[in-house]
Structure 1
Amino acid sequence: MSSTDVRTDESSADNSPPGITGGPLARFGARMAGNFKWVVTAWLVVIIGLGAFAPSVFGSLAGAGWQSNGSESVQVRELAQEHFGGNSSAAIQVVVHSDTEQVTDPAVAAVISEVTDILAADSRISEVIPPQPGMSISPDGHTGILIGGANGTTDEMVKAVDDLKGELTAASTDSIEVYPTGASALWSDFNKANHDAMIKAEIISWPVTLAIMVLAFGSLVAAGLPLLLTLAGLVASAGGLVLLNEITPISVWAMNFAMMFALALGIDYALFLVVRFRDALRKTIDAGRIDPQRAVAETMDTAGKAVLLSGLTVLISLSAVLLVPAPAVRTMAVGIMLAVVFVLAATLTLLPAVLGKLGPKVNAGSLPYAKRQVHRSPKFATWGQLLHKHPWPFAIGSLLILVALSIPALGLKVAMPSISVVPEDAPVRQGYELVQAQMGEGAPGMLQIIAPTAEAEQTAQIAASVDGVSMVTPPMPAMDGSDYVMLQAIPNVDPSDPALETTLDALRAELPEGAIVGGAPAENLDLQTALNEYLPIVVSVILVLGFLLLLIALQAPLIALLGTVVSLLSTGAAFGVAKLIFQDGHGASLLGFTPQGFLNGWGPVFFFAMIFAIAMDYTVFLLSSVKEHYENTGDPHGSQVDGMAHSGRVIFAAAAVMIAVFFSFALAEPLPPKEMGIILGVAVLLDAILIRLVLLPVLLRLTGHAAWWSPTWLRAVLPKIGFSHS
């Protein structure tokens, strides 16, 4: 019995709306269309309820979390906060400098006293440690560093800097400069710059997206629907993140990524459904009666199924990132997943209800050319025929381009962000550069060593002898009387210099067994190590789960395997382009940034998951359309051409929307949003044009019936899923 027969039999056995045929999604969609008021009311309750929390999302979410849980550096931070007055990597460092006066002069001392009072008045500061000669006062005496010990989590300390930095910098005078610096201040300024950049990019991307949608749909009403639905999903997810943050800290980056990704993906989903609905509605009109509910049922039974499977693919890809033991990375994935869930829910419930209500009005405000538009694109049908007649030149050409762009990725270097990712006028960068100028290249990145008191002298001697260490401060006993001492090892290189990793490894290898090494630069290096170690695991999980989902959806092992493998090509090519731009600096002046010499460390893990999710999104859209026609005709040639004719324009328009959204982030000043926008934009561009509209159709042409073959035992095991509607 075919999958179509199963759906038809099922539909007659339940209380589906009269005359509605198809599978569960068809009946579900028809119910949504038939209960417009209830569906809209439910969504209004969700949007208003969660939307009440949404405005506070950026102020509520966590600002830190960039660490490798369980690492040696995190142990050092925890011990420092417990036993050394909070003098940990999360402490707030305040630089006080004067070109004309020394730290001990009355005017500078008065400013230091004022800064001390500001810090001491905040409950998140435990001990205020004044500038110490030989440790935190520059050799010329013109610069001193106060330490505001951390009396809270890393997230709380970032918020403390958010709250205090205005007051601290206001303590400056005409001749004395005051700058908060250190890791907490870095994330405070970095998060603000990143947030401002994301908002700017969103403001640019929305009108551009609307223009593309109007061109794609040819109707103002149809074009506006995806944007409104996506906005509803984003508002709900923003409120959801605020509530989730009450249970466990969620990185503010979660919302940043969610805004961008959900906008692009939500429009993709709505675009696919609205285009199919307009075609299904036209069929009912041609049959002699307007039946929006039947059109919704057909839409959900075909395009709706593809959207659901696509959404599951995205969620599965991102869930693999949860394996990485870094709170910020995990919660970024959680944020995107939550946004995708809400956007997917809106697409599968609210959109069918609205389409059923609008009916022919979905074409209101149509442009002249849109009235001649049909779902089957003659241009993409012609393109499909061309690929069928000449498969090898297109296959070889697209493969050569993708492989050539992928080769540079073999030399890709990754590291955690350097100080250059924040704007030059940010207080943390000004303080950082001032400390370097006055105290040496490695001074902003001191390594902290905690050792048992009995090993203090031995630890100090060995640390001072390690290559790459310029100075070691005298052992400082624990403030609570416990059996620990702390030493500060000042490297002779910038904290972002790759040589620092060698110095850290040497310290850990040569110091006595009881001594452990941490500090902000060590936390970055430990996190990078964890990201590197988990990358192959995350990639493997994503590939296996992606293949299994395609296998279940398409019921054919060969095309599921090919669909998974070709998705790697756009990923590799995107990282190759990333290496050329962000590591080698090609086009840096045009894009307005200074290369760091590496890609930000979380990029490979996170971008791989996102790029692969998008690639599989388009794979499902194309192959579900081809399989629908193959189920009806059994003709691999005709189904490949018809699949292209019916999905090509949608894929092209959806890719244009995604590219516009992602490339808008290339205008951002901070480097990470720029990296994110360009890498994802390039990936979508290459994937949509060279893979979904060239290579994958050619592979269907070359494999023929074999692409859709499945052994009997596998068909017996897999759930029956079909894409044709009856």
Structure 2
Amino acid sequence: MRHAAVARHDETATAAPTWLGRLGGWAADHRRPIAIVWCAIAVALGAFAPFADHALSGAGWEAEGSQSVAARHTLESSFPGRDSYALTVVVAGPRGGLGGPAMRRTLARVAAVLHTDPAVSGVLGPRAGVTTSRDDGTAVVVGSAGAPPDGMVAAAGRLKARLSALSTPGVTVRLTGPAAMWSDFNADNKAAMLRSEMLSWPLTLALLLVAFGTLVAAGLPLLLTMTGLLGAGGLLFALGHVTDISIWAMNFAMMFAIALGIDYALFIVVRFRAALAAGLAPREATVVTMATAGKAVLVSGLTVLAALLALTVVPVPAFRTVPIGIGLAVLMVLAATLTLLPAALSRLGHGINGGRVRLRGGVDHRSERFAAWGRRLWARPLPYGIAAVAILLLLATPVLGLRTGMPTAAGLPGDAASGQGQRLMERAFGDGAASALQVVVGPRDAAAARSVLQGDRDIIATVAPAERSRGRVLLTAIPKNAGGAGTTIDRLRRELPAGALVGGPAAESRDLEHALGAHLPIVIGVALGLGFLLLLALLRAPLAAAAAVAMSVLATAAAFGVARLVFQDGVLDPVLGWHAQGFVDAWAPIFFFALIFALAMDYTVFLLATVRAAHDRTHDSRHALVEGLAGTGRVINAAAGVMVVVFLTFALSGPIAPREMGVILAVAVLLDATLIRLLLQPVMLRLLEAWAWWMPAWLDRLVPRVGLPHGEPAGEPASG
């Protein structure tokens, strides 16, 4: 009982009149207007949220300023409609069937359907020996691109079902190519996300009931989540009519609204219940909660936004617009956490414990089990620390052999039209047929360029006849196989005449992969730097902040080591029921690093802020560590458990990309919340002892004072 009394005393001691505490008091005093404003926001934005995906774009995956994009722009001006986003329709029938009436009728109907869409500027029929197979059984019809890439992706979505419906017994019609692939991918990804959402909601509610033990407390995280979803969805609908925003922005906004809404509500509600248990009135408990847990939530939200900001340095439109959706969700959840949630808590008061469910092991603010764990780590830090590092390094080792690549139609479910069309093309024209290269040169260099293409060992003997238009020459070359197209493109760019542009779907994927790899160190550096600065401003402890940031990198590396085994090597294919694609998507390391780092900061901030607060009160490093773990251990476990379940639901269906997302994020959060924050982080604090909170005087003068309301910053380390 003495420990509980100490914890309650510590809790009430934190009721310093900070601006966040005053904000909590203001919210408690203005519950009705706050509720009315948020209801109006939810209704106004929520009315448009279901239609957000119709206002968002489907492409955006290109490397701005790359040679392949320059080639596409040149094709758009010199050969209108011939760029890589033209619609490719494969018509496959029996051997020698191209001359038969059935094939001729089908080809005519395909052309007629293409003509009906406003995004198609013209139709190119089959050309003998170029877009017809050697056995005269397969032909390709091309719908010229009369709209930007996003418009062609939308056109593919409108036409793919109508074109497939033209199939007859013995003749198969499928739309394929980049526009069709992205259309199928976006549709399958959205469907998978919706299925995951439907599955995650009841599971999340069940876990929250286990965590809190009461229906009322379990419902508050869902309140924040819905607020974030409705607000972000409505704002994305509005922004989508002003500028191009990737449809992925909505997907990730949904995911982050769930993850952060639950995390932030857990932190706030647990602290509020502890303040009530300490004997405070609901209004004073609200002030204390916002002055303490509210600050941790605010810094966590700012860290998430900082990590998202790092992504905007990547010269890929999707990487600049997806953070917009996530950022809007974070801002909506954060605003609701700092205003709507304290208003609701002050109104509920002790009613927060209403609707009690008889479950054992609910989250209380202080856990004697985690306090005992803290004492054990303090007594024997090295064995536990070495074991944790060994496990993480073992999991991270496979990342050294990680291969990346851009997704293709092969990564889509088997019933996707673009994947079926690609397989038909490969069967009729060769493995590299879907990776055709478009080489644009000037008339003087045409002969030399053709000679290089015909002499290349990885280009099939047949190179399509040169086409001339508006002072440019277009040469189309087919690689022997899609797998080696990347190295072929790199070699051709070295050997072709100066000024030659190599474009086409494979070249655009290659350039995108290079751009992502080149900017990975920059994104990592920016995210780590901004995260360190925010932790430094909060904790005023450079050693603790630096160690926390470094350990996040270790957990991320371990998560990608697991990703290599699952998605590249296919070690779990028989269990998971899918076929590994032989690589990890090229956008995954750079994108997921930022997301993992942002999510990990939730637990980092909550744990270190609690430990620092206890250290400022007592100047006893051992007591601070034990009480920090006792006060946050169960909350971190509960938050991480909910988040892991949510992420794993994304790994159950759909194309490879959302599966990667679910597995990588779930593994990263699990490792970070267990091996890092509840084991390695405390071990680090034990080894550093009071030095963990040391702040040099010169740095103390430079760093803005936005730290915790628990005493003055430490100068030289105290004994402990």
Shorter-chain TM-score above 0.5: yes
Cα drift, residue 610 of structure 1: 0.9
Partner of 2:635: 650
- The answer (yes or no) to whether the contact 2:270–2:363 under 8 Å persists in 1 is no
| Distance (Å, rounded) in 2 between the aligned partners of 1:467 and 1:554 | 60
Corresponding residue for 2:206?
211
Alignment of 1:593-612 (within 5 A): 593-612=578-597
Residue 91 of structure 1 deviates from its aligned partner by 0.4
In structure 2, the residue corresponding to 1:284 is in which secondary structure? Answer: coil
Deviation at 1:200, TM superposition (A): 1.0
> 179-188 or 502-511, which moves further after superposition?
502-511
- State the partner residue of 1:10: none
Distance 1:564 1:21, change over 3 A: closer
Q: Tell me, in whole angstroms, the C-alpha distance in 1 between the residues paired with 2:207 and 2:535.
A: 30
Q: Percent identity at matched positions?
A: 47
- Cα deviation for residue 373 of structure 1 reads 6.7
- In structure 2, relative to structure 1, the CA distance for the partners of 1:179 and 1:500 (3 Å cut) is same
Q: Which residue of 621, 632, 648 maps to 1:663?
A: 648
- For residues 126-165 of structure 1, the aligned pairs below 5 Å read 126-165=121-160
Task: Report what 1:723 is aligned to.
Answer: 708
Residue 422 of structure 1, CA deviation: 0.7
2:170 & 2:39 partners in 1: Cα distance?
A: 57
AA in 2 matched with 1:165: K
Unaligned segments of structure 1, at least 5 residues: 1-18, 286-290
After superposition, residues 278-677 of structure 1 pair within 5 angstroms as 278-285=273-280, 291-368=281-358, 374-470=364-460, 471-478=462-469, 482-494=470-482, 497=483, 499-677=484-662
Shift of residue 580, structure 1, vs aligned partner: 1.2
Which residue is 1:7 aligned to? none
8 Å contact 1:21–1:27 — kept in the other structure?
A: no
The letter for the 2-side match of 1:492 is K
Query: SS of the counterpart of 1:367?
Result: coil
Deviation at 1:104, TM superposition (A): 3.0
Cα deviation for residue 626 of structure 1 reads 0.5
Instruction: Supply the distance in 1 between the matched residues of 2:62 and 2:615 (Cα, whole angstroms).
Output: 50
Q: Deviations over 1:74-108 (max 9, x none)?
A: 11111222221311100000111112662232221
2 CA distance for matches of 1:412 and 1:170? 41
CA displacement at 1:369 relative to structure 2: 5.4
Q: How far 1:208 sits from its partner (Å)?
A: 0.9
1:373–1:84 Cα change, 3 Å: closer
Does 2:159 align with 1:174? no
Cα-to-partner distance string for 1:602-651 (whole Å, 9 max, x where unaligned): 00001111111122221101000101111111111101100111111110
Alignment: residue pair count: 697
Distance in 1, Cα, partners of 2:538 & 2:665? 25
Task: State the 1:33 CA deviation.
Answer: 1.6
Query: Residue 214 of structure 1: SS of its match in structure 2?
Result: helix
The answer as to whether partners of 1:92 and 1:184 remain within 8 angstroms in 2 is yes
Q: Once the two structures are superposed, what CA deviation does each residue of 1:105-126 show, in whole Å capped at 9, x if it has no partner?
A: 2221121111111111222111
| 2-structure distance, mates of 1:429, 1:419 | 5
Alpha-carbon distance between aligned partners in 2 of 1:515 and 1:725, rounded to the nearest angstrom: 65
The equivalent of 1:4 in structure 2 is none
SS in 2 for 1:323: coil
Shift in Å, 1:371: 11
CA contact 1:257–1:332 (8 Å) conserved in 2: yes
Q: 1:68 to 1:720 in 2, by over 3 A?
A: same
User: Against the structure 1 CA distance between its residues 35 and 137, is the aligned structure 2 distance closer, same or farther, given a 3 Å change threshold?
Assistant: same
Question: Alignment partner of 2:135: what SS?
Answer: coil
Post-superposition offset of 1:142 = 1.2
Aligned position for 2:691: 706
- Corresponding residue for 1:37? 32
Q: Root-mean-square deviation (CA), in Å?
A: 1.6
Aligned AA (1:509): R
3-state SS of paired residue (2:339) = helix
Q: 1:627 & 1:29 partners in 2: Cα distance? A: 22
1:7-26 matches, cutoff 5 A:
21-26=16-21
Contact 1:81 1:149 in 2 (8 A): no
Which residue identity does 1:623 align to in structure 2? Answer: L
User: CA separation in 2, counterparts of 1:509 and 1:718?
Assistant: 50
Return the alpha-carbon distance in structure 2 between the equivalents of residues 223 and 372 of structure 1: 11
Which deviations, in whole Å up to 9, do the C-alpha atoms of 1:350-403 show, x marking residues without a partner? 111111111111111113457997421111111111111111111111011111
Does structure 2 retain, via aligned residues, the 8 Å contact 1:615–1:687? yes
CA contact (8 A) 1:131 1:145 kept: yes
Distance 1:267 1:372 in 2: 16
Corresponding residue number in structure 1 for 2:269: 274
Give yes or no for contact 1:476–1:487 (8 Å, CA) kept in 2: yes
